[in-house]
Amino acid sequence: MTSALPFDDFRKLLAVLPTGDAAAGERVRAQFARAEKPQGSLGRLEDIAAWLAIWTGRPPAVTKPLVAIFAGNHGVARHDISPRPVEATARAVELCAAGGAAINQLCLAHDLGLKVFDLALHLPTADITEEAALDERGCAATMAFGMEAIAGGTDLVCIGDLGVGNSTVAAAMFAALFGGTGADWVGAGSGADAEMIARKAEIVDAALARHAGRLTDPLEVLRCIGGREFAAIAGAVLAARMERIPVILDGHAATAAAAVLQAANPAALDHCVVAHLPVELGHRKAIERLGLEPLLDLRLAHGEGAGAALAAGLVKAAALCSTGMAAAL
Alpha-carbon span 80 to 84, nearest angstrom = 9
Catalytic one of 46, 136, 280, 304: 304
Q: In this structure, is residue 9 part of a structural domain?
A: no
SS3 of residue 272 by DSSP: strand
Please report, for residues 85, 177, 239, the alpha-carbon distance to residue 170 in angstroms, rounded to integers and kept in the order given.
18, 10, 21
Antiparallel, parallel or unpaired: β 113-118 and 65-71: parallel
- The pTM score is 0.95
Residue 293 pLDDT: 93
In a domain, 143, yes or no: yes
pLDDT at 320: 96
Reference 257, options 164, 176, 186, 315; nearest CA is: 176
Query: Could you read off the pLDDT of 149-196 as tens digits, one per residue?
Result: 988 889 999 999 999 999 999 999 999 999 999 999 998 767 778 898
Q: Is residue 39 part of a domain?
A: no
Task: Tell me if residue 304 is catalytic.
Answer: yes
What number of other Cβ atoms are within 10 A of residue 180's Cβ? 16
Q: What is the pLDDT of residues 217-242, one digit of tens each?
A: 999 999 999 999 999 999 999 999 99
Predicted local distance difference test score (pLDDT) of residue 194: 87
Residue ranges with strand state E in the chain: 65-71, 113-118, 156-162, 247-249, 272-274
Identify the pLDDT of residue 31.
92
Distance CA 54, CA 236 (A): 19
In DSSP notation, 108-174 reads HHHT-EEEEEE--TTSPBP-TTTS-SS-HHHHHHHHHHHHHHTTTT-SEEEEEEE-TTHHHHHHHHH
- Total structural domains in the chain? 1
- Contacts for 252 with CB less than 8 Å, ≥ 6 apart: 161, 166, 167, 169, 170, 171, 189, 278, 283
Tell whether 311 is covered by a domain: yes
Give the C-alpha separation, 274 to 280, whole Å.
Answer: 15
Flag whether 82 is in a domain.
yes
Q: Is residue 14 part of a domain?
A: no
pLDDT (0 to 100) of residue 1? 38
Residue 51: inside a domain: no
pLDDT in tens, 19-37: 999 999 999 999 999 988 8
Q: Is residue 190 part of a domain?
A: yes
Q: What pLDDT score was predicted for residue 3?
A: 47
- In this prediction, residue 329 carries a pLDDT of 54
**CA 315, 265, 292, 119 torsion-angle sign:** positive
Q: Which residue range forms the structural domain that includes residue 92?
A: 63-316
- The answer for residues whose C-beta is within 8 angstroms of residue 147's C-beta and 6 or more apart is 235, 236, 238, 239
What's 212's domain CATH number?
A: 3.40.50.10210
